[in-house]
Amino acid sequence: QVQLVESGGGLVQAGGSLRLSCAASGRTFSSAAMGWFRQAPEKEREIVAAISRSGGSTYYVGSVKGRFTISRDNAKNTVYLQMNSLKPEDTAVYYCAAALLYSGFPPQEYDYWGQGTQVTVSS
């Protein structure tokens, strides 16, 4: 069992930055690929970024490449999402997720999800 708790969301002006954190409980964190997803009102959830177990591989959706950075600290059981140059279209609830069993990267399915943290970017 893995429990995920996101933090770091808030209200920021366009062009600003936020860093999201996702703290994981359990001893399996270092065995899990981690992903950040977002869901805006009336839109489907989309993957934003993913990071492999070791942190050696990362994935970003095209709209955030060059602006967002995903990282992890396995000693702290925490994954981060540094978001720079934020745009109003980045406004969404952001979720972190863990994939314990996967064969390809980024994983297509995730086993555990956090409750989400709201990010609002004003223009």
Helix (H, G, I), strand (E, B) or coil at 104: coil
Closest CA to 20 of 66, 62, 72: 72
Q: Tokens representing 106?
A: 């980024």
Summarised one tens digit per residue, pLDDT across range 28-70 is: 898 999 999 999 999 999 999 999 999 999 999 999 999 999 9
Q: Tokens representing 97?
A: 């997720």
Mode of pairing for the β-strands spanning 10-13 and 117-122: parallel
In whole angstroms, give the CA distance from residue 123 to residue 44: 22
Query: Residue 17 has what pLDDT?
Result: 98
Question: Binning pLDDT at 50, 70 and 90, where does residue 22 land?
Answer: very high
